Amino acid sequence: MQTRRIGDLDVSAIGLGAMPMSIEGRPDEARSLATIHAALDAGVTLIDTADAYHLHADEVGHNEILIAKALAGHDRGRDVLVATKGGHLRPGDGSWTLDGSPAHLRTACEASLRRLGVEAIGLYQFHRPDPRIPYEESVGAVRELLDEGKIRAAGISNANPRQIALANDILGGRLAAVQNQFSPAFRSSEPELRLCEELGIAFLPWSPLGGISRARELGSSYAPFAHVAEAHGVSPQRVCLAWMLARSPVVVPIPGASRPETILDSLAATDLVLTAGELAELDAAV
């Protein structure tokens, strides 16, 4: 497995996005555990989660608990960087709400520590800006968690260039990762990606294949991806991730999966070499 850098750690060039295993349409636990273990067997050392990845109001942290169980049952579990997030909430009615207050972020981080069963969280990310709370206060709370050793690396998610620069300044140049939406269907995070490249900050695209409901349609929606995939005898999804990896060395995609075969196909993108002409064709796909 090829590796890339998040902070001072080398991780697998493609991580596992675990959200589909805990929200709407989630599989049973046995299949989820099999999916995580298949990823670990293939060399994954980065798993992305959040305390808000759950369905019902009384199961906050469902995904974190699932990951902790999977890692405890695998001999390579200790080698994995678990990236979790706080600041987003799911009341249980299908909606998503925000709480970026320092008090909530501290409480959320401590709860995540307990669920993951660790002394320090490998990568903790402020999930989404809360318009009611000054951004400086939210990131300041993350900085305190970092200084106290409750987290080993700090990140932000769903941030614009101004917020990235501000967060990096507040963290004293220690911003390790930015997790934004980025895919063939959603390219508006290009400025954030370029800023991360300039600053040497890892850029983690979420929903890199277009999201749970659209990932299967990637080839039909974007013909160049299907064309290149046919030429290589692989899936359009694998081509998409290879294209994404080629865009910048700071990119670390985290495709979601809830089946072993899905994550294994995604991970094979690290071995797919695209020509300059193919990359240009994919860059132009709209």
Annotated catalytic sites, by residue? 53
Q: Report whether 206 contacts 260 (CB < 8 A).
A: no
Q: How is residue 138 written in tokens?
A: 């939210």
Work out whether strand 175-181 and strand 202-206 pair parallel, antiparallel, or are unpaired: parallel
Please report, for residues 103, 162, 173, 179, 254, the alpha-carbon distance to residue 207 in angstroms, rounded to integers and kept in the order given: 29, 22, 27, 10, 7
**CB under 8 Å to 23, separation ≥6 — which residues?**
53, 54, 55
Q: What angle do CA 242, 247, 249 make, to 5 degrees?
A: 95
Report residue 17 CA to chain centroid gap.
6
Q: Report whether 22 contacts 52 (CB < 8 A).
A: no
Radius of gyration of the chain from its Cα atoms, rounded to whole angstroms: 18
Q: How is residue 215 written in tokens?
A: 């990932």
